[in-house]
Every structure is written in C-alpha cells, then in structure tokens.
Structure 1
Amino acid sequence: MTKDATYNEEDKTVKMFLKGRPVILYAPTDLAENYDITKVSTAPSRRLKLDWVYGYRGRDCRSNLYFLPTGEMVYFVAAVVVLYNVEEQSQRHYVEHTDDVKSLAIHPNKMLVATGQCAGHDRRDARPHIRVWNSVSLHTQAVIGMNDFDVSICCLSFSKADGGSLLLAIDEASDHIISVWDWQKGENGYKITETKCSVDTIVAAEFHPLDRNIIVTCGKSHIAFWSLDVGGTLYKRMGIFETRDKPKYVTCVAFLQTGETITGDSNGNLAVWGRGTNTIWKFIKNVHEGPVFTICVLKDGSVLTGGGKDGRIVEFTSNLAMTGTISVIEGHFGGIRVISEGRGSQLLVGTTRNCILNGTSHLGFQPIILGHTDELWGLAAHPSIPQFATAGYDKVLQLWDSMSHSILWSKDIGEQAQSVAFSLDGTSILVGCISGRWMIFDTQTRELLGQHVDGNEPIQIIQFSPDGTMVALGSRDNQIYIYQVSEDGSKYSRVGRCTGHSSYITHVDWATDNQTLRRNAGTCRQIPQSSIMRNVEWATNTCTLTFMTVGIWPENADGTDINACDRSHDSELMVTGDDFGKVKLYSYPVIQPKSLCHTYGGHSSHVTSVNFLYDDTRMISIGGKDTGVLQWTVS
C-alpha cells in the first residue's frame, strides 16, 4: 500500500491507498516545503528492552510452572517464557517464540527447557513448533518440527529414565497426533515416530520416570499406556476402569516414587495404576469437590493434589494416607491449575484465573503474579507518576505500579471493559464498557463516583482535552460524545455529540486549542481533513491515519492492521501495536512511506494498545486474547 503513495506538490498532499480506497493526507506547511516522499527515514537511536511481563497463562494451560536451580520460577504468558526470581525481584525473558506458548517441559538435568507454541494469525510468520533452550544462557539448542505440527503443541515431556534424550509432543489437531523426537539429532531434531493419539481432547502426556520408553496420556474419558519399541513404533493399551464409572475426564497424571501411575479425574477421585499394568490398583474417592487439576509428588515422596473448583490442596503420605487438607486459594484467585515444589518447603501454585501464589501449607499463600483472564483492550498511563491502568473483558480494572512491578489494586466493575483513561490530574479513572455504559472511579479509594450511558455499543476510546475541561468518548455506534468536566473532576455533563461518521470510532485526538477534534474510523474512508486543518497542533497522536503516521502502514495494509499508536511526550518517538503480535518503534514524525523501525515480539496475534508512561522512560503494550501486559524500558 505505502509503496503506491504519491505526493502532490501543488496541494502539498500525500495520497495513499488502503483496501484500494484513496486516502488524502495534508502536509503541515513547515514540513511541506522540503518534503521528499522517496526519502527513507532511519530507525530511532533509542530502543525498547523488555523489562517486565505481568500475568501468567493458567486458565487453559497445564504443567507450566516450575522452580529452577537458578532460583527462578519458569512459566509463560503470551509468546514470552518468563524466568522470575521472586527474592531478587528480577525477571529474564525467553522471547524467541512467534506466537502463544502453550506447553512447557523441564529436562531431567533441570537446566534445559522445551516450550511449544501455536500457529499464528499469519501461518507464514508463526508456525507451531518446539524450542529447546538453556535456562541459564537463554541460548536456543534446537528448533523442532517447524513443518510437522498443525495447530499447537499442547503437551510436552522429556524422557526421564534415559536422561532426557527423547522428547514427546502432542499436536492439538483433531486426531491429537503424538510424536516422539530424538531432539539432539541435528539442529532440528529427528522424528522417531508419530501416530494418531485420540479424537478426544488430550490434557496430559508424560514419559514414565523409571520405565524406559513408557508414555502415559490422558484426557476426555480415557487414559492410555504407550510403549515405544526398539524399531520406533508406538503401541497403545487403554486403561481399564472395570466396574467403576468411567470419568468424563482423566484430568492429570503423575508418578509415585515406587513407579505406579497416579491420575486425578473430573469427579474429584484419584486412581493408582499398577506398575506395568493398565488396571487400577487403588482408588480414592471424593478427594476434591469437582476436578483434580494437578498432582504433585514431592521430593520426600509425599503427594499433593489441587482442586480446580474447590481451590483446596490435599496432602497425602507416600503410601497415600491422607494427612490433611489446606483450604488455600481464595475464590477470586481461581481454582488450582498446577502445584510445584519451590525453594525449601515452599510451594508454587498456578491458578485458573492466571495468578501465581507462593507459600507453605502452614503459613498460607501470597499472590506473586496477578493478571487478566480475558481479552484486554483498555490501557492508560497516569499523567504524572509511573503508574498505569488496564481493563478488559474479564470485568476487572487494575492499577499497576511500573517501578515496583506490582498491582496496586484490582476491582471487579461488573461490566466488560473496552477502554480506559485518567483524568488530567490523575485523581479519577474513566472506564468505557462494551454496553455503552462508562464509569468514573476515584484512583485512590476505587469508589464509583458516577456513571453514564451513551448508545448501546462499546465505548472504544476516551480522550481528555489538553486542559482537562472536556472529554470525548468515541463509540462503536459511529458517534463521539462530548462531556464537560466539573471543577473538581467528579461531575460530567454532556455538551455535544459529533455525528455523521460513516463507521465506528477507533481513535480520537484533541488539538492543543482544546476546541478541535480529529478521529479515525474502522473503515478507511477518506477523513474530511480539509486543508484548513493542515497546521493544527495536536496534543496527542493516537490516530493511526494522519500525515505524521504515513510510514507506520505496511505494504498491502487493509487499514485495520495497526490497532494503536502513541507519540512520546517529547515528540521524538512513535510506537505502534499491530495484528501480527509486533510492537514497533519509529522516529517521530513518521512521514516517509519508507520508514525504518525497530520491531519487537512477545505478544501473540493482536497487540491492542500501546502507551508511553508520563516521562517516556517506559512503554506499556497489551495483547488482546493473550491477556499479556508487557513493560518496556526506552533506552
């Protein structure tokens, strides 16, 4: 698209095409005189460095939280694998994946990690594959199956009895293909075998820790015991439930120190399968109300189970005598997704509401990671201190501190949120909801100060005028609602409505005169940006389609590829978030169709919003469905 852009010397306009439609953009007079459309603008000297990742993926992934000998715990969210040292309050990040990470396995040497990802929005850029990497150096040792997987790698396991030479993977395709790899052969590993596993969902797959070449898989109403013969063929025996009711799901699998397989099911029961057999040797009923999502066998042989619904951890001795129940997890953290051994006697608990807790059965558990649990669109930076707010479809508004990397507060607002903004003095937060309702909260007390309803479509953007006396709300109903803000910022009175837009409003900027507005809409029809507007000075640049942002549009763009942009407060940088999981940093203004930039991964397909913090030292990006909140330092 931008390669077809042309400059009209007479009108001082750039004409470009989005989805075949012409878009005319007027050059400001001071830039128009020496403007050369063929010039290539250089990337900025400043760069972004991933500083902190907020969140964890527990809502739909399993076995993805471990403690490493480095003193760090390892887990993932979006396309980033996080190594987090709680005591030192430091994070390192493995960022070689190109889309959502879905599975993780630790090698028996406790140093190597395997992670598997899903296919991306664009299959050419993000194919499902496995990466084996060193947790100390973060160096990639092998990239496996770049053309072998179809949907995503939902289960991974290193072989244990032979010291980890094999790696097993399950592709989340309709037949749930199971494959076994000699991962150290060549740079891309060697596939020993693959076969159809089951048309039903598979939730866990593990190599047996003591018996070579034995694999156990389980999932919807089944458990299977596999043996890999010398020739590389996999043989399957289904587990036999005999007289017992077959559960809807066998939800998790682990191994006792004596070699028996132990499974949990969706009815809250445990089954112990005789070593070398496919029959149940011991059955323990009603350990949990609802499903058993995780079984953790500790170093001393004792066993812990975690409930996905009741939020309880139940303790057993090594011969499965129940020793006690600890009711740990408060409801708002979610059910227990995974338990693993941490430092000393500490346990790590990952939950279904994307939290990680740390603690012991005696002292209780403290949250160390909190996140969002549903699609995330609302992001706003505080106007004068290093804080920011996020709000999403999980109906939760959260206030974060970027210096301590902590959540200051979290509030359930009862409605799915689409947008968020701080008042000019930072004392209140406005949240725009999907229903057309928008609410005003006190930043300190979290108290609801007021609410209004405009239309019945999502409030997509909220933007205060530079002097803070007015606020514009852009709706999906193609209208912009203008409110006057009272002296103390607690009362809002509607003073006008901008109508006549041909499509829904996605971005709004105020001019520095507090009088003029510009907006971008969802379809790329021409903005009636007459020449009178060419020299208006804009207080912000969040509109993606302006003369100053010509160069952020890639070739063949359809006009919705770039979801968000933000200009730094010193007007030297521009950051964008796009549909391909990329965050890009440009020199501002981005007026050349050929503009070079720095490109950063970490999110999966849609980056929904980007925002510089008040002093431009940091930048926040959020992912839509990946629920990730990434903090970058500008260096």
Structure 2
Amino acid sequence: MSRQDSKLSINSNISSRWREDLQNYQAIKVTIFKNGDQWFDGYELRFKPQKEYRSLDALFNKLNPKIEFTGAVNYLFDTDGNMVRRVEDLEDGQTYVASSSKKFIPANYGRRGEAFWINGHRPQPYYSYRRRSMSSKSSSSDSKPGSGDGKVIKIINNEDTSIVERVLLNLKTTQQFEDVVRDLGQVLKIPNADRMYSLSGREVKSFSHLRHEFYDEDVFAISAGATKVDKSIYQMSRHTSASSSRKSTRLRSGASTRRELETSGGNLKILINGVRKIYHPPGRLPREDNRPPGRHIHLEWVHGYRGVDRFRNLVVLQKGEIVYFVGAVAVIMYIQEDTQRHYIEHNEDIQCIALHPRDDFIATGQIDGKDEVSRSHIRIWSVTTLETVAVLGHGELENGVISVAFSSLNKGQYLAAVDGSIEHVLSVWDWDKAELLARVVTNVIKMCGVTFHPFDNNLIITYGTGHLCFWSRRKDSFFERVDVAEKEAPNVTFQAIDFMESGDLVVGDSSGFISSYSVTDEGEYFRSLHYAAHSKEITCILMMVEGTLISSSAKDRKLKAWDTHQDFKKMAETELPAALGAAVAICQQWPGRSDANVYIGTDRNIIVEGSLQRKFEIVAFGHVSKINDVATCPNDVALVSVGSDRLIACWRRTKLIWKQNSPVEPLCVCYNPTGTIVATGLSDGNMVILKADSGDHVTTSRVCGSAITAIRFCIDGDLVACASHNGSIYLYKVSRDGFSYKKHGKLTGGQLLAHLDWDEGSEYIQTCSTDFNLNFWNATSNRMEKVGSVLREKVWMNQTCPVGWAVAGLWNNHNYKEETTLTSVNVSNNNELVASGDTAGYVRLSRWPTLNPKAEFHEIKIASHEVSALKFFYDDSYVVGTGGLEGGVFKFRIL
C-alpha cells in the first residue's frame, strides 16, 4: 500500500469514528405530551441521549416540573401505547406521552385543527351546554371538540327540516338530559321539545345512551312529543354520507356508515372494558354482512360430569338412558347406542335434578344468576321432546335451588323444592297448573335435600346438618313439623336417604351410621334401627328392588351391600380405585328389575357402570376442575384438553383415548402441523412434548421461570413459540421428527401475555396481553414491531387473540344481554365463521370477519362461568368449547 493510500485509509477510519461519535452525541428533538390530556400543548425537548440523559430516570427528573401530575413522571409511552424502556429507544422528531402510572390512555396527542373538523368542514360556532357548571374547570375543558366527554352533533328540526344547527354537547354537564333536549329545542325554535331521535328512528333517552348506543352517529332529530323521523332528514343524511365517503381516502364497504367509535388515519378504535383500543385494518376492508351466519351450531356431545360438589345428580330412565348435568346443560346419554341428547334451556348452572315417577318428565333447578332473567328457578321438561312444560319459582327462589322432588302416590302431580336462602324455604307446587300450594321456612344451617314419602303425597322429608324433619301438609296449606334428628348430635349431617318397601325411611349420616325410622299406628315417628356401616361419612345409599341396600363412603371409597330382610346383614363389599374417586350418586342400571348392576357418579367427575361382584367400567369421564386450553388435531377428529386438575386428556369422537397426569398445572396445549406431537406449556415454565397417539412423554424443555400461557407451532412446524407471563416470547427450533427442541431466540416484552398467533409466512407473531393489548413481533429480528400499522395486510394462520380489527364487532354487541368480556375466539379453516366464548358462558357463532357490533349470531349457553377455549376441527365439521368450573368439554356440530 502506498503512503498516500495509507494516509487516506487512516483519515477514513478517523472520520468514521468521528461520525459514529457525532451520531451518538447528536442532539435529538422529541415532543412530550401528558397522558390522558390531549389538549396539553406538548413540551418540546432537545437533548443528547448518550451525554445528557443516560437513563430514563434522569429524563423523568427533567420532565417533572414541566408536566404536572399528582405524582411524579414514572413512565414514557409512544403514541401507540408501547412503553419506552431505554433512552436509546427515543427517535428524533417523534412524539411521546409521559405518565405517572402504567395505564396508557389513548388520545389524539398533538393533533389539532383539521383532525377535529366534521366531514372535512369546519363546524359552526358551538353551542355548549355548560350553563349550570360554568365554574367547573373540568367541565369547560371536557367540552372541547374531540374530547372523550364532548360530542359534536348536528340537530335538525323534525317539523321544519330547513332549521339545522351544529352544536357541541358536554356529556359531563350536571344538567338533566331532558333539560338539554329542551334547550336544543329552543335553538331549533321548537317549543316544549322533549324527544331526540337518531336517523333510524330510535329514541335517545340519556347521555349514557348517546355515548354508547349512538357513539357512531352525529345527526339527530329534535321534536316535541312522540313522532317519526321525517323522511327528508334521512335522505339528506344519506346524501351527505355518500358525498363524504367519495371524498374519503379510506376505502369503505357497501354499508352507509362504519360502526366503529372513531376512524382516524385508517385506524380502528373500540372500547374494551372501558379502555379505548386501537387496531389497524387492511387497506381494503371486506364487505360488511351483519346477518347471522348461514350455518348453526348444534350441541352433539359433552365430555364430563359434575360430581365434585354435587350429590344425587344422576338418574336412570326405564329404557336405560342416564341423565345428569354439566354446567347449564342436562345430558341424556344412551350408552348402548353411544348417543347423547341435551336440554339447553337453562341460563345458569344446573344444581339439582329429579325424575318424574312416570319416567316422562324431569325437573332441574339452577343457581342464581346476575340479572333478572337468570334468577333461580325450576324447569320441568319432557324427556322425549326436550321441550319445557313448566317454569316454577322464577323470582321467588333465592340463592339457587338446592333440591327438587316429585310426589309418588299421585303420579307426580306435586313438586317440592328447597332454595339456598338463609332460611332454606320449602315450597310445594301443583306443577302442571303452576300453582303454589304451600311454603314454609325450615331454618336449617345446611340443607342437603328434600323428598316426598312414597305412600303420602302430603308428607315431605327434609334433611341436612342436625336436621331430619317430617312435614305434614294440612288442607289449609300449613305444615305440621316433626323433628326426628337426635338433639345430642347437632353437627351430624344427614345427606343420603331412601325408602324401604315397607315405607320406613333409611338415612345415612356423616358419622358413618345408617338409621331407619318408622311410624306407629298413632302416627308417631321413631328410630327403629341404628348401626355403624362405615368409619366415615356416608355420601349416598340406594335401595335395590330385591331389598338390598347399597351404601358408599366418601373417605374410604368403599361400597357395601346390606340385606334388609336379615336385619341389614352385610352381604358384600368392594372399594373403588383412587383414580375413580368416591361415590356421590348411585342408581340401579335397570330400574324396576332385579339386576345387581348400578351406575355410580363419583367426586372425580366420572360415571362408572358395574356391580360389587365385577369391575367398574367408565362410561363418562371429565376433568375435575376448570379446563385451561384445548387443541384439535390438524388431520383427525381428535382433541387434547389440559386443566387445572393437572390432567392432560386426549379424546377421539366420543371416547377418551389416553390421559396423563402432569407434575404441575398445564396452562396451554397445541398440536404440531402433522398431528404427531402435542406440546403443552406448564405453570412452572417448562414445555412438555408428548406423542399424540399414546400420550407418551418425549422430552421436557426448560423455557423460563414464569408460566407458559400460550404455545403455537408455525405453519411448517419448524418453530414453536411459547408466550410467558413475564411478557416474553421464546422461540424453539424443532427437528423434523418433532422430538428435539433447541432454543432459537427470545422476544422481550413487558406485558402478561395470554394468546399467540403466527402469520402464514412464519415471520411475525401477534399476541394479546391479559389487559387486551394487541402487539406484533418480528420472529426474524427478535424485536417487537412498534408500528403495528405496517402489518395491517398480514394474514394470520388462525385468530386465537380475542382482539383485533377482524373481531371488533364481537365486542360491545348490541344483542348481548349484559356487558361481556371475550375470553376466546377461533376462526374456521375456510375463513367463513368465527366462534367466540365469553365470561358469561356463551358460545357464539358469527360471520368472519365480524366488523359491526350490530352483527347477528347464533348462541348457546353452556355454563355460568367463562368459556376458556374454543377450537374448530380441521374439516370445520365441529367446534369444541370448554367451560365451567366442572371442566366440561362441549362438542358442537356445524350444520
């Protein structure tokens, strides 16, 4: 190298270092706004990142005297709500939001002028209704255009449409809504104005109505008295909407208006739990179709049984069908033909069940709901047609229905029920006439059940803690009460009863004793027998047709048979395996026949069939507690569920294929694309890989120290992503056989992640946090995408995140009966349907995508608690949902 070339090279290196240092110490300019105050003018700050402020704390000290909060500035966000964690992340010329709390409040920070004009035109001088609150500083500031508490609207005289004014309403005014409408009428020259209507003719009745139901409308008609909206107003509005849409740069669908709260720069904004969320739809939105989907959901099969906290909840029909309940669904299962039918008219969890003596009707009572519609009541329905024939006690029974029973001697004409109120009220109806015959307060600490005496329609027995009582109903509808419980044992609970052929009452109690009670010729009740049958509490007893009594204990899981013809001599004894649990319900397999086979429901949510002489076989199996997630096989009608009971279970069609116990609670599960591997994420931060056909363990990988809440394979199965509670996503490289996993990368965030989806190119990931923030990640560069709008055209493998532009219409739907929070969504493989589950226990089927809150849907309520997961089968023939405290798996056929 020549001396001249060497000199140039040295100078070049020196210049390069200078340029690097100059870049590091070059001053940048940022504008800082105040969180939640879009009218703050903004504080312009120039500084050198590497020299003046080496940490955010030093920067916050600078901002504290400039931006006043009740506390100190502790956080910094970009305008999309992403938290800034390093000074180096600040970019020259950008806008940021300072905050004293972690909660980011979306607003139009720094946007003025044209951004707040209506339809591109400057509004006329505003008429702001603040006459009674002019001294309030907050009211005057809240009424600015674009404010979350101010609404600019056009008002039209319904009698004279030539009179039009544009006004700004302060939605925080202390005036009554009726006074404001009257003032608006004065502006429009309408004496005694008292009605405001939308263009569709719906009346606006309050500020809350205006804020929520009519958030996307800005033209209203004012009138005096009830009337119809003038057609010219509607036509004028349509013309204005059409002209403005032609001038708009955003592509619109065929609908006249978009239903979203606001549209600014192509962004979509909706309210989720009172917080405004911003999403970025694609440039060309699909055409809105608010009709219900052309296909329906039909409940075909339920895996599960609720025995963990319910007793006497299993009955058998004469032709061999068993009836029980899971969540809000009553299941009629015919084991011989492997079929199920379902009664789905309850709107809260079923709590008790009773079979009519003629075997053609069933009564079920539900728990108390949150609203008037879902209050405690009893439904009597036909076993054959599944139609409701009577509804009793709606609004009269408090805190749920504990027990129901039909009378026997008069062919089931009467129905008795005990509610869950403090007094435990006993009610008796002539149910066919819906006539209340009598009601009495029992004043029991804990009530377990009620039943009629088989030989007397007016003799009712109630039992519970320290309580065993005979109630004789007189003609004047009053009761004569006889307590037969021993007063020296007030803490003994009577929780299992039946009747002998002679009519004597047989009772099993919590101390392990079986007693019988008889009546003298003078009508006095006395205890005729008392013996120790079990060492611990007796949970259920059954009097067989041939005179054999079967009893079961919850502690030792033993079943014992007693010969009532030989002074209750023990005939046989067996013990249920620990995996099956203890019996909580026993029914004879063929009622009325001398058959030793029985059906037993256990506290492990399992129903078994067998006898004391032979092995018990499982006929219904379920999780013991809440199911956390479910996954469907990509090439078979199989699914895997994981629950808080630490159980991993695989089902195919109607059968349980395999189950595995996990050392800790599994929170999420998925199949690999070939369907050969099942990956589960555990609460201790481990990822466990199992074989899909057998459940055999393959390998365990230590991912992190926090719970794994979502796990998904990419489209070709080469990568698997694990989302964690610590806010990070961990990527693993997968071998071809799916048996080997090597750490590939880590994407660091800061929010508690709950859902995860891959894009079809396996380059990007979208996640939903526990507070419903939607974030995007670049799996190639291992960084979060701060500008989500750049991915607006991305196509995702599936939509399991319950937020986003394509599911925006599922939120705040006007057809919902209550405020609902979505907990799970899933899109069909043909991209025509979307299934959604919520905290109220509803499964809904809608069109995909769902853009409008006015979109119709089909729904079924499966439980009182949240629907934790939903998945379509690979061929879209079924959608599977999990919900309820008892861990039911509900399989719906798509018709």
Match of 1:299 among 531, 545, 548: 545
2:601 aligned with 1:355, yes or no? no
Aligned to 2:48: none
2:504 aligned with 1:260, yes or no? yes
2 CA distance for matches of 1:79 and 1:574?
Answer: 23
1 CA distance for matches of 2:820 and 2:740?
Answer: 35
Match of 1:589 among 846, 849, 863: 849
Q: After superposition, give the CA deviation of every residue in 1:349-407 in whole Å (9 maximum; x if it has no partner).
A: 111111111123333321100111111112111121110001111111100002xx000
User: Structure 2 counterpart of 1:257, which letter?
Assistant: E
Aligned to 1:535: 793
Aligned to 2:440: 195
Q: 1:3 to 1:477 in 2, by over 3 A?
A: farther
2 CA distance for matches of 1:101 and 1:29?
Answer: 47
| Pairwise CA distance, 1:323 | 4.2
Q: 1:372 to 1:9 in 2, by over 3 A?
A: closer
Q: 1:411 to 1:10 in 2, by over 3 A?
A: closer
Aligned to 1:547: 805
Match of 1:461 among 710, 734, 751: 710
| Pairwise CA distance, 1:411 | 1.5
2 CA distance for matches of 1:426 and 1:2?
Answer: 46
| Pairwise CA distance, 1:20 | 3.5
- Unaligned residue ranges in structure 2 (runs of 5+): 1-211, 216-258, 776-785
Q: After superposition, give the CA deviation of every residue in 1:494-539 in whole Å (9 maximum; x if it has no partner).
A: 33333333x3212111111111011111214565552211111111
Q: After superposition, give the CA deviation of every residue in 1:225-247 in whole Å (9 maximum; x if it has no partner).
A: 2222221122322224377x566
Match of 1:6 among 247, 260, 283: 260
- Unaligned residue ranges in structure 1 (runs of 5+): none
Match of 2:563 among 293, 317, 335: 317
> Residue 390 of structure 1: SS of its match in structure 2?
strand
Q: 1:342 to 1:571 in 2, by over 3 A?
A: same
Aligned to 1:423: 672
2:371 aligned with 1:123, yes or no? yes
2 CA distance for matches of 1:611 and 1:409?
Answer: 20
> Which structure dedicates a bigger proportion of its chain to strand?
1
Q: After superposition, give the CA deviation of every residue in 1:7-26 in whole Å (9 maximum; x if it has no partner).
A: 77772222222233322222
User: Structure 2 counterpart of 1:93, which letter?
Assistant: H
Q: Identity percentage over the alignment? A: 27
Aligned to 1:288: 534
1 CA distance for matches of 2:330 and 2:264?
Answer: 53
* 1:293–1:336 Cα contact (<8 Å) kept: yes
2 CA distance for matches of 1:21 and 1:267?
Answer: 54
Match of 1:170 among 418, 437, 462: 418
| Pairwise CA distance, 1:589 | 1.6
Moved more, 146-155 or 232-241: 232-241
User: Structure 2 counterpart of 1:282, which letter?
Assistant: L
Q: 1:158 to 1:493 in 2, by over 3 A?
A: same
Moved more, 58-67 or 273-282: 273-282
Aligned to 1:221: 466
* 1:40–1:594 Cα contact (<8 Å) kept: no
* 1:2–1:554 Cα contact (<8 Å) kept: no
1 CA distance for matches of 2:618 and 2:298?
Answer: 26
| Pairwise CA distance, 1:277 | 4.1
Q: 1:560 to 1:82 in 2, by over 3 A?
A: closer
User: Structure 2 counterpart of 1:532, which letter?
Assistant: V
2 CA distance for matches of 1:184 and 1:178?
Answer: 18
Q: 1:619 to 1:192 in 2, by over 3 A?
A: same
> Residue 31 of structure 1: SS of its match in structure 2?
coil
2 CA distance for matches of 1:205 and 1:10?
Answer: 62
Q: 1:31 to 1:149 in 2, by over 3 A?
A: same
Higher RCO (C-alpha 8 Å, min separation 6): 1
Q: After superposition, give the CA deviation of every residue in 1:135-158 in whole Å (9 maximum; x if it has no partner).
A: 112121100111012211111111
2:677 aligned with 1:433, yes or no? no
* 1:2–1:551 Cα contact (<8 Å) kept: no
* 2:562–2:572 Cα contact (<8 Å) kept: no
User: Structure 2 counterpart of 1:448, which letter?
Assistant: H
2 CA distance for matches of 1:436 and 1:201?
Answer: 42
> Residue 531 of structure 1: SS of its match in structure 2?
helix
Moved more, 77-86 or 598-607: 598-607
Q: After superposition, give the CA deviation of every residue in 1:203-223 in whole Å (9 maximum; x if it has no partner).
A: 121111113322222222332
1 CA distance for matches of 2:630 and 2:366?
Answer: 26
Moved more, 487-496 or 578-587: 487-496
* 1:312–1:325 Cα contact (<8 Å) kept: no
Q: After superposition, give the CA deviation of every residue in 1:154-202 in whole Å (9 maximum; x if it has no partner).
A: 11111223322221111122222222222122xxx22223233234211
Moved more, 430-439 or 55-64: 430-439
Q: 1:446 to 1:184 in 2, by over 3 A?
A: same
2 CA distance for matches of 1:521 and 1:452?
Answer: 24
2 CA distance for matches of 1:545 and 1:374?
Answer: 27
Q: 1:232 to 1:9 in 2, by over 3 A?
A: closer
* 1:339–1:349 Cα contact (<8 Å) kept: yes
2:453 aligned with 1:230, yes or no? no
1 CA distance for matches of 2:379 and 2:408?
Answer: 18
> Residue 548 of structure 1: SS of its match in structure 2?
helix
Q: After superposition, give the CA deviation of every residue in 1:457-482 in whole Å (9 maximum; x if it has no partner).
A: 43221111111111222223333222
* 1:240–1:280 Cα contact (<8 Å) kept: no
| Pairwise CA distance, 1:97 | 0.6
1 CA distance for matches of 2:616 and 2:321?
Answer: 18
Q: 1:478 to 1:290 in 2, by over 3 A?
A: same
- Normalised by the size of structure 1, how large is the TM-score? 0.93
- Aligned positions of 1:78-227 closer than 5 A: 78-120=327-369, 122-185=370-433, 189-227=434-472
* 1:105–1:113 Cα contact (<8 Å) kept: yes
Q: Which has the larger radius of gyration?
A: 2
| Pairwise CA distance, 1:560 | 7.3
Aligned to 1:250: 494
Q: 1:507 to 1:124 in 2, by over 3 A?
A: farther
Aligned to 1:20: 274
Q: 1:29 to 1:184 in 2, by over 3 A?
A: same
Q: 1:529 to 1:315 in 2, by over 3 A?
A: farther
Q: 1:435 to 1:174 in 2, by over 3 A?
A: farther
Q: 1:6 to 1:113 in 2, by over 3 A?
A: closer
2 CA distance for matches of 1:469 and 1:526?
Answer: 25
| Pairwise CA distance, 1:95 | 0.8
2 CA distance for matches of 1:140 and 1:560?
Answer: 27
| Pairwise CA distance, 1:414 | 2.6
> Which structure dedicates a bigger proportion of its chain to helix?
2
Q: 1:240 to 1:337 in 2, by over 3 A?
A: closer
> Residue 538 of structure 1: SS of its match in structure 2?
coil
Q: After superposition, give the CA deviation of every residue in 1:3-57 in whole Å (9 maximum; x if it has no partner).
A: 645377772222222233322222212327xx6xxx5522211111111111111
* 2:263–2:269 Cα contact (<8 Å) kept: no
Aligned to 1:478: 727
User: Structure 2 counterpart of 1:312, which letter?
Assistant: K
Aligned to 2:830: 570
Count of aligned pairs between the two proteins: 621
Match of 2:315 among 63, 66, 75: 66
Q: 1:73 to 1:20 in 2, by over 3 A?
A: closer
* 2:327–2:884 Cα contact (<8 Å) kept: no
